[in-house]
């Protein structure tokens, strides 16, 4: 049962869609105190586990670390970090007592989950205005399903968004895109989408297309479509401040940008230079921004990714001035080493600084609120602007849209990607661990940058990562400017890549129906083993395997120079290796197995009595035969 408790006068985040009457706060089942901060406390028993928090570093079991809900443009996803791009304030505590807790609060929250004191969870936030949801249920999954029910159905993208997708920050000219398309085709590598990063725009201005690079963009989009390739442009949150640029002018005239304390437009620097931040908390501004996507949908574009919407701020004018003042003070003077560090940090600290987040304001339909107090819903509301416009204009399931920053609620109109990871083996594992956690919070259409964004990918890393990506709804290979090329045809012989990618297309009908079922019935696509085998001590602790749908288990290889890995089977299963059109099958008993898996093979485990359909390989979803499927087993 879900119980709602209201503290003070919370800002409406729109996370929950079901109308629930609040109970008296005195009946809140956990220890609650309201002083300088609000704190919620409860004890953990020795074997208790804590699941949730969506997009975050570390394990599936979140116990033993301190996390923060604060949407952050964090490019180093290392385990010392507390926050990434999303704020997903839902946990499930699993032990003798099981319960779920959703803290619906749009500013910073600290989740000390047995870090300061191993037997205790302390959840802390500043303003005494929040809705708290306490959920009890029979099982972890039952609690998740009740939560999912109150936050509403998850977004379903168009079918073609389940195809393989190629991206790279650096594709700029038309030829780059044609080359990616042709190189995939020539090498028998399937492909459905190619992404356009910030370089397609005119001076990084949203809703513009650089005419020198794309003399007839509409014709180009339709030429790519004729080859069954969708182009997916990026949209950034900040709008370049430039008189004569219609998007800026309209926003300016209507007062649609965030303002500083004196009511002037807040100015900060991102890719286009100085930008205005659209006030997505204002419903008129939101509708206006959403309708701007029309510029591109009119040209045949049917998918977008929204970036920099934490919002990421490289600097603000005031931040820059402060840093210069500091430097001016020491110019010509003798500084000791501490003085040197202080000035260095004064410059480095201006990016994404709390001072800036405290210094601008929203007009949330007549209510003036400081950004800091609503920070975590900014990116969600940006993406909602797009998602709502698409649904109104084109109906459901017609446009692909996903976001970098998110708050629960955004799962109804869009997907998310996991931001700037590295081409590190450990990030394959991090990718895997995030999947069930984001599913718990409603985000189904999601995935990481396969092959890694930062740093250089090796051939084997790329193949192993793709073999996990085969199962993630968003299957996108993306990398940063200046890193080693990592398209499937960049590593010599493409046969292994073709084998792995073919498996994705063979599984699409299964993955798609699993996805639809998860959205329609509040199910998780990926579950921790602990959710299905709560009484199996080993299964509860396994964090490098996941349950997929209600039929399968996955266990990818995520270490270099390994031709095999240990896999734990919580029950008897059929071990399957898929590679191109080949299918290897072997019956295995419950327990540990050391299994050989080559670079061109995708391992999968099917539960007793279950089966899944397989399609014939295809080079894109348009050519994929969705009828006449064969059975895997
Ligand atoms: O400051 O648009 O996470 O996917 O390629 C970097 C350039 C801005 C961050 C995104 C990444 C994208 C990159 N963007």
Q: Is the model's pLDDT at 330 over the cut of 90?
A: no
> What integer pLDDT is reported at residue 344 of this predicted model?
87
Confidence of residue 469 (pLDDT cuts 50, 70, 90): very high
Q: Is the model's pLDDT at 343 over the cut of 90?
A: no
Say what the pTM is.
Answer: 0.97
**Is 197 close to ligand 1, i.e. is its CB under 6 Å away?**
yes
3-state DSSP call for residue 7? strand
Backbone Cα Rg of the chain: 24
Q: Is the model's pLDDT at 497 over the cut of 90?
A: yes
Q: Decide: 411 and 88 in contact? Cβ < 8 Å.
A: no
**Is 73 close to ligand 1, i.e. is its CB under 6 Å away?**
no
Rounded Cα–Cα distance for residues 631 and 72 (Å): 44
Mutate to test the pocket of ligand 1, among 272, 273, 308 (most ligand atoms within 8 A of CB): 308
**Is 77 close to ligand 1, i.e. is its CB under 6 Å away?**
no
Question: Tokens representing 540?
Answer: 């509860």
Instruction: Please state the atom number of ligand 1 nearest to the C-alpha of residue 478.
Output: 4
> What integer pLDDT is reported at residue 456 of this predicted model?
98
Residue 599 Cα distances to 483, 577, 628, angstroms: 23, 11, 29
> What integer pLDDT is reported at residue 339 of this predicted model?
86
Q: Decide: 315 and 351 in contact? Cβ < 8 Å.
A: yes
Rounded Cα–Cα distance for residues 488 and 218 (Å): 28
**Is 169 close to ligand 1, i.e. is its CB under 6 Å away?**
yes
pLDDT in tens, 390-433: 999 999 999 999 999 999 999 999 999 999 999 999 999 999 99
**Residue nearest atom 13 in ligand 1 by C-alpha distance:** 169
Q: Is the model's pLDDT at 342 over the cut of 90?
A: no
> What integer pLDDT is reported at residue 230 of this predicted model?
99
Beta strands in 532-589 (DSSP E): 546-548, 552-554, 564-569, 573-579, 582-588
Tell me how far the alpha carbon of residue 531 lies from the centroid of ligand 1, in angstroms: 35
Tell me how far the alpha carbon of residue 421 lies from the centroid of ligand 1, in angstroms: 11
Tell me how far the alpha carbon of residue 197 lies from the centroid of ligand 1, in angstroms: 8
Q: Decide: 604 and 627 in contact? Cβ < 8 Å.
A: no
Instruction: Please state the atom number of ligand 1 nearest to the C-alpha of residue 236.
Output: 2
- Give me the mean pLDDT over the 96-123 stretch: 97
Q: Is the model's pLDDT at 366 over the cut of 90?
A: yes
Q: Classify domain 159-238+274-310+372-510 at the CATH class level.
A: alpha beta
Task: Provide the mean pLDDT of the chain.
Answer: 97
Tell me how far the alpha carbon of residue 356 lies from the centroid of ligand 1, in angstroms: 21
Tell me how far the alpha carbon of residue 404 lies from the centroid of ligand 1, in angstroms: 9
**Is 310 close to ligand 1, i.e. is its CB under 6 Å away?**
no
Rounded Cα–Cα distance for residues 557 and 547 (Å): 16
Rounded Cα–Cα distance for residues 168 and 177 (Å): 10
Confidence of residue 334 (pLDDT cuts 50, 70, 90): confident
pLDDT in tens, 520-544: 999 999 999 999 999 999 999 999 9
Instruction: Please state the atom number of ligand 1 nearest to the C-alpha of residue 75.
Output: 3
**Alpha helices, DSSP H, located in 332-377:** 337-348, 354-358, 371-374
**Is 404 close to ligand 1, i.e. is its CB under 6 Å away?**
yes
Q: Return left, alpha or beta for 244; rule: phi > 0 is left, psi -120 to 50 is alpha, else beta.
A: left
**Is 314 close to ligand 1, i.e. is its CB under 6 Å away?**
no
- Each domain of the chain, given as residue ranges in start order, spans 2-151, 159-238+274-310+372-510
Neighbours of 397 (CB within 10 A): 15
Rounded Cα–Cα distance for residues 268 and 64 (Å): 37
**Alpha helices, DSSP H, located in 170-259:** 174-186, 217-226, 246-253
**Residue nearest atom 12 in ligand 1 by C-alpha distance:** 169
pLDDT in tens, 186-226: 999 999 999 999 999 999 999 999 999 999 999 999 999 99
- Give me the mean pLDDT over the 480-501 stretch: 98
> What integer pLDDT is reported at residue 332 of this predicted model?
87
- Give me the mean pLDDT over the 366-387 stretch: 98
Rounded Cα–Cα distance for residues 441 and 144 (Å): 8
Q: Decide: 91 and 101 in contact? Cβ < 8 Å.
A: yes
Mutate to test the pocket of ligand 1, among 197, 417, 427, 447 (most ligand atoms within 8 A of CB): 197
pLDDT in tens, 76-106: 999 999 999 999 999 999 998 999 999 999 9
Instruction: Please state the atom number of ligand 1 nearest to the C-alpha of residue 305.
Output: 4
3-state DSSP call for residue 367? strand
User: Which CATH number fits the domain 2-151, given the four candidates 2.10.25.10, 2.60.40.1760, 3.30.930.10, 3.40.50.1820?
Assistant: 2.60.40.1760
> What integer pLDDT is reported at residue 585 of this predicted model?
98
- Give me the mean pLDDT over the 558-567 stretch: 98
> What integer pLDDT is reported at residue 573 of this predicted model?
98
**Residue nearest atom 6 in ligand 1 by C-alpha distance:** 308
Mutate to test the pocket of ligand 1, among 86, 420, 486 (most ligand atoms within 8 A of CB): 420
Q: Return left, alpha or beta for 255; rule: phi > 0 is left, psi -120 to 50 is alpha, else beta.
A: left
Q: Is the model's pLDDT at 493 over the cut of 90?
A: yes
At residue 282's C-alpha, the angle toward residues 281 and 285, to 5°, is: 115
Q: Decide: 275 and 248 in contact? Cβ < 8 Å.
A: no
18 cis-preceded (ω within 30 degrees of 0):
no
Q: Is the model's pLDDT at 335 over the cut of 90?
A: no
Angle between helices 425-440 and 459-469 (to 10 degrees): 20
């Amino acid at each position: 049962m879900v119980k709602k408790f209201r503290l003070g006068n919370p800002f409406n985040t729109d996370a929950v869609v079901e109308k629930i009457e609040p109970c008296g706060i005195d009946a809140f089942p956990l220890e609650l105190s309201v002083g300088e901060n609000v704190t919620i406390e409860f004890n953990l028993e020795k074997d208790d586990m804590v699941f949730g928090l969506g997009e975050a570093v570390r394990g599936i079991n979140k116990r033993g670390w301190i996390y923060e809900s604060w949407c952050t443009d964090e490019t180093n996803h290392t385990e010392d970090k507390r926050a990434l791009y999303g704020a997903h304030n839902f946990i499930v505590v699993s032990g003798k007592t099981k319960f779920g807790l959703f803290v619906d609060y749009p500013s910073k929250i600290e989740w000390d989950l047995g870090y300061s004191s191993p037997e205790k969870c302390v959840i802390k936030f500043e303003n005494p205005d929040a809705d708290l949801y306490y959920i009890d249920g029979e099982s972890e999954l039952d609690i998740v399903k009740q939560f999912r029910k109150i936050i509403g159905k998850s977004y379903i993208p168009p079918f073609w968004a389940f195809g393989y997708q190629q991206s790279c920050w650096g594709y700029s000219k038309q030829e780059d895109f044609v080359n990616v398309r042709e190189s995939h085709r020539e090498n028998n590598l399937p492909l459905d989408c190619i992404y356009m990063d910030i370089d397609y725009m005119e001076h990084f201005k949203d809703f513009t297309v650089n005419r020198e690079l794309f003399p007839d963009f509409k014709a180009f989009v339709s030429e790519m479509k004729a080859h069954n390739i969708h182009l997916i442009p990026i949209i950034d949150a900040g709008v370049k401040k430039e008189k004569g640029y219609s998007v800026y002018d309209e926003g300016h005239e209507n007062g649609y940008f965030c303002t500083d304390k004196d009511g002037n437009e807040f100015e900060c620097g991102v890719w286009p230079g100085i930008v205005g931040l659209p006030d997505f908390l204002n419903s008129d501004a939101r509708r206006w921004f959403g309708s701007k996507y029309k510029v591109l949908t009119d040209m045949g574009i049917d998918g977008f990714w929204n970036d920099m919407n934490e919002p990421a701020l490289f600097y603000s004018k005031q931040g820059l001035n402060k840093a210069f003042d500091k430097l001016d003070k020491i110019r010509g003077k003798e500084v000791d080493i501490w003085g040197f560090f202080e000035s260095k940090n004064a410059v480095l600290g201006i990016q994404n600084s709390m001072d800036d987040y405290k210094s601008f304001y929203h007009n949330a339909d007549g209510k003036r609120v400081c950004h800091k107090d609503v920070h975590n819903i900014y990116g969600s509301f940006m993406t909602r602007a797009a998602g709502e416009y698409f649904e109104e204009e084109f109906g459901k399931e017609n446009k692909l849209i996903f976001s970098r920053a998110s708050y629960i609620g955004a799962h109804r109109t869009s997907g998310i990607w996991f931001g700037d990871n590295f081409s590190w083996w450990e990030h394959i594992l991090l990718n895997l661990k995030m999947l069930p956690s984001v599913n718990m919070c409603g985000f189904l259409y999601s995935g990481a940058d396969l092959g890694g964004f930062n740093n250089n990918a090796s051939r084997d890393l790329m193949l192993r990562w793709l073999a996990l990506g085969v199962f993630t709804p968003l299957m996108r290979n993306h990398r940063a400017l200046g890193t080693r090329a990592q398209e499937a045809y960049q590593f010599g012989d493409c046969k292994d890549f073709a084998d792995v990618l073919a498996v994705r297309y063979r599984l699409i009908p299964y993955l798609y129906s699993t996805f639809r079922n998860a959205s329609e019935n509040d199910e998780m696509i990926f579950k921790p083993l602990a959710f299905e085998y709560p009484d199996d001590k080993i299964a509860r602790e396994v964090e490098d395997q996941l349950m997929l749908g209600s039929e399968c288990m996955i266990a990818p290889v995520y270490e270099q120079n390994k031709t095999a890995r240990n896999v734990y089977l919580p029950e008897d299963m059929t071990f399957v290796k898929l590679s191109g059109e080949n299918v290897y099958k072997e019956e295995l008993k419950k327990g540990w197995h050391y299994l050989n898996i080559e670079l061109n093979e995708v391992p999968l485990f099917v539960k007793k009595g279950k089966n899944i359909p397989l399609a014939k390989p295809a080079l894109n979803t348009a050519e994929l035969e969705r009828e006449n499927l064969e059975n895997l087993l």
